[in-house]
Structure 1
Amino acid sequence: MTTRWVAGFRSAVISPDESVRFNEPRGFHDQTVRQVLHMAGGGERVRVRLSNRYGRSPLTVGVARLAERGIADQIVTETDVVLRFDGSRRVTVPPGGEVVSDPVELAVRAGDDLVLSLHLPEETGLATFSHMPVETAHVADGDQTGAANLVGAEEVEGRFFVTGVDVLAPEGAGVAVAFGDSWFEGVGSTVGANRRSVDWLNRRLRRGWVVNQGIAGNRLLTDGVGEHALARFERDVLSVPGVTQVLAHFGINDLGLPGMLGLPPATADDLVAGFTELAHRAHEAGLVIHAATIGPFAGAIYPGHNTPEGLAARREVNEWIRGGSVFDAVFDVARAVEDPARPDYLRPEFDSGDGMHLNDAGARAMAECVDLDVLRL
């Protein structure tokens, strides 16, 4: 059987120096960081990607180990393997750098949870991290990477230094990238339960899968929380091995986030131009691109977020998305989750409590509005 390396898990990262962020960065020193990686797809071998993209200091990994997950921070010890980097257990990643581990024999399936344990013996400085991944990491003193469960571990909601897992999968395994904001990253869904919209979508698929490159607070047009979509498209979509399709969800933060900062929202014309450029880049690379309409946010509790100008632009852009021919397909998230009596607001049963983010049921409704016949995975 012919096989190839494709993305089985992805996690987009941001800089700890971002001026706007909603989850605090941190560093580590002589500590073990144990993290759960929920696999979108599987294969017979794996390799792990670590990043010091935004670090100001070298990142030294004394030991990195990978295993199947047991309960909470426990690992299934008989599956535990040491990762090597060009044959060495220890690796130092320079500021701005990334490394990929040597492949290891560890068969995984879609939906499996792997546990990555990193011993960080030297001061890391503030970590390159995923903004709001809706997952718990465990941090303990010293090198406990091989322990079945960590002693004296601190629970931290976050993900650090890891950007992906590649899997050696059968030729023809299809991979799509969910490229967007918090509605993909999963804010509002239950922490650690894998009920993000992308997780619900993957449960509907049979042959391929979708890897998650959402960043909470990310914008289509302007840097703010992470580099804006057009700036990170090559790295977070085009460089993903095996990608054939992209699902895009942007706009809420272009329209709402500026109000929190005392700035005017993006205009409808600005967003139309940005979406058109995004579609052009995808097609130029030979990718199929599916676009989501912009979800409702009139009930957002965040100061300045739900301005009349921003809400009017949302409605205008959504009509353009629905009626245009720029994208290969549209999944109408707005219609799926809006309150029919007040379309600028979320349905109460889908509201996580802040008027803007989806709870587990809302994330499932978002996933179910994707037409699988069109997605073809």
Structure 2
Amino acid sequence: MTKQWVAGFRSAVISPYEKVQLSDPRGFHDQTVRQVLHMAGGGEQIRIRLSNRYGRTPLTVAEARVAERKNADEIVAETDAVLRFAGAGHVTVPAGDEVVSDPVDLPVRAGTDLVVSLHLPQDTGLATYSHMPAETTYVAGGNQAGVASLPGAEQVHGRYYVTGVDVLTAENVAVAVAFGDSWFEGVGTTHGANQRSVDALNRRLERGWAVNQGIAGNRLLTDEIGEHALARFERDVLSVPGATHVLVNFGINDLGLPGMLGLPPATADELIAGFAELARRAHDAELAIHAATIGPFAGAVYPGHNTPEGLAARRQVNEWIRTSGTFDAVFDVARAVEDPARPDHIHPAFDSGDGMHLNDAGARAMAAAVDLDALSL
């Protein structure tokens, strides 16, 4: 059977130099950074992607290793392997660039936790990163990339430089890209427990998987936290190897985040035009596109987030998403998680506590809204 490289894991990144930051950016100097990657899909070989997209100086990686995770910061020692880049055990990634490792003979299955350890010997400057991945990264002094565990390591909640794992697998595997905001990235779900909505969806899928390209705070139309969806669609969806479908979940931050910054929300017409453009680009690339309705956020505790104008636009856009026929399928997240007595609010059983994000049960309800027959995965 013919094999191909497809995405088995993805992690969308932002610039540490953005004006609005939801978590603290940082850099490294003579430290080992050990990161946990929860695989959406598996294969007989893997290769790791590293990005210095937003770095302002070259990134030197003196040693890089990959292994299966045993627990916390501990690896399964017998699976440990050196990552090589064009045959070398070290690599320098120019500012603004990315690299892909040579293939590694490490068979993995969906649901496996891989651990990637990077020794960064020089001052990196602020790191290109995924800012709210709902997972712990372990940082220790010096080169400890090959040690089995890192007792006493600093624990941080970002993911740095790692943007993906490709897997070599059967040609007929289908891959969906979950392209959206915090409701995909997993804010509000139990940290380190893989309870994101995309994880819950993957537990339902049988003939493929979904990789997670969510960025908390990301918007459809405007840069602020990460490049906006229309700007990053080429890189974070169309360039994903093996992608056959895209699931889009945007809108809350176009409607709520501007209020926190003292600006008016996007209009319904602006959002509709943006969604229509995403659908056009997906169909031009022969990808099926499935759209989520915009979830409720009237109970958000963040100042200025839940304006009457924003909530009215949400209802108008959702009706268009449901009825316009623009998308191959719609998953009605809004109805799946709303409080029937107050439809602009998240149901109390699904609220993480801030009126804006879903807890574990809410993430499962969001995943359950996806029609698997329409998704064909």
Partner of 2:301: 301
Give the structure-2-normalised TM-score. 1.00
Identity of aligned residues (%): 78
Give the secondary-structure state (helix, strand or coil) at the position aligned to 2:75: coil
Shift, 1:152, TM fit: 2.7
Whole-Å Cα distance in 2 between the matches of residues 72 and 222 of structure 1?
Answer: 37
Whole-Å Cα distance in 1 between the matches of residues 203 and 324 of structure 2?
Answer: 29
Per-residue CA deviation, residues 123-177 of structure 1 (Å, 9 max, x unaligned), is 0000000021010000000111111101430110110000000000111000000
Whole-Å Cα distance in 1 between the matches of residues 220 and 151 of structure 2?
Answer: 43
Whole-Å Cα distance in 2 between the matches of residues 128 and 172 of structure 1?
Answer: 33
Per-residue CA deviation, residues 274-296 of structure 1 (Å, 9 max, x unaligned), is 00011000000100000000000
The answer (yes or no) to whether the contact 2:333–2:366 under 8 Å persists in 1 is yes
Give the secondary-structure state (helix, strand or coil) at the position aligned to 1:253: helix
- 1:65 partnered with 2:62: no
Partner of 1:101: 101
- 1:159 partnered with 2:159: yes
The one-letter code of the counterpart of 2:255 is: L
Partner of 1:54: 54
Whole-Å Cα distance in 1 between the matches of residues 303 and 131 of structure 2?
Answer: 21
Whole-Å Cα distance in 2 between the matches of residues 351 and 237 of structure 1?
Answer: 29
The answer (yes or no) to whether the contact 2:131–2:157 under 8 Å persists in 1 is no
Partner of 1:15: 15
Whole-Å Cα distance in 1 between the matches of residues 131 and 312 of structure 2?
Answer: 28
Whole-Å Cα distance in 1 between the matches of residues 65 and 353 of structure 2?
Answer: 38
- 1:175 partnered with 2:159: no
Per-residue CA deviation, residues 195-223 of structure 1 (Å, 9 max, x unaligned), is 00000000001110000000000000000
Per-residue CA deviation, residues 11-55 of structure 1 (Å, 9 max, x unaligned), is 000000011120111000000000000000000000000000000
Q: Could you say if the C-alpha distance between residues 254 and 294 of structure 1 is closer, same or farther in structure 2, counting changes exceeding 3 Å?
A: same
Per-residue CA deviation, residues 347-369 of structure 1 (Å, 9 max, x unaligned), is 00100010000000000000001
Per-residue CA deviation, residues 88-109 of structure 1 (Å, 9 max, x unaligned), is 0110001001000000100000
Partner of 1:256: 256
Whole-Å Cα distance in 2 between the matches of residues 21 and 151 of structure 1?
Answer: 30
How many residue pairs get aligned? The number is 377
Whole-Å Cα distance in 1 between the matches of residues 118 and 190 of structure 2?
Answer: 25
Partner of 1:225: 225
Give the structure-1-normalised TM-score. 1.00
Displaced runs of 4 or more, over 6 A: none
User: What root-mean-square deviation, in Å, do the aligned CA atoms of Structure 1 and Structure 2 show?
Assistant: 0.5
Shift, 1:183, TM fit: 0.2
